[in-house]
A and B are shown apart, each in its own frame.
Chain A
């Protein structure tokens, strides 16, 4: 199947700093990329949907000025958590959608665990 990479896999930062997470589709061009957040023992929560070359669509309750998404190309999307606080500590996962005939499947990156001290 298609491969999606995410970098970094784990980051620890001080409160008030900004953290950038990269999501790359390695062997395909992703029509759409999704950013999720997952707290312990909870399901995936969609934060935003991004299409290459256009502004991301944010879910209700997600601050677009705090979670900056840049979808520069069909293979790269970045999520920047600005002025991170301890409550932003979570598992951030990206996925990329590829059209493959019968259905459009989402392939997930390995996730980034963010810990804000």
Chain B
């Protein structure tokens, strides 16, 4: 079956670094997405990985290992506004509509 696992909740300190892990078991793979979702708002796109390795974008980086079915989102220099849920999603072909399979999300709490 299709399954995406990520921790339910994490806590970190302002200015620190946090790593949010995501493991997946899907019948196919055509890319992994990370989205940020603040409470009561829609998700916003953070990153996309389709090849193994690290993608860096400012304070956020995302890593992918396809052989291990594993990804992580790394957030540096944490700010209070980073408190949100972080959703991992996998695109599983050959669906031509490019549907995403979603994890349940990791709620990140930033403390001063």
Contacts and interface: CB of A to CB of B under 8 A. Distances in A.
A108 B50 contact: no
A103 B41 CA distance: 24
B22 to A, nearest CB: 12
B99 interface: yes
Contact of A107 (B45, B48, B87): B45
Contacts of A113: 40
A105 B45 contact: yes
Contact of B97 (A32, A91, A107): A32
Contacts of B87: 43-44
Contacts, number: 52
B100 A106 contact: yes
A3 B44 CA distance: 11
B105 A43 contact: yes
Contact of A93 (B31, B42, B103, B105): B42
Given A1-B45, A110-B42, A43 B102 contact: yes
A6 B40 CA distance: 14
A34 interface: yes
Interface string B17-50: 0000000000000010101000011111100101
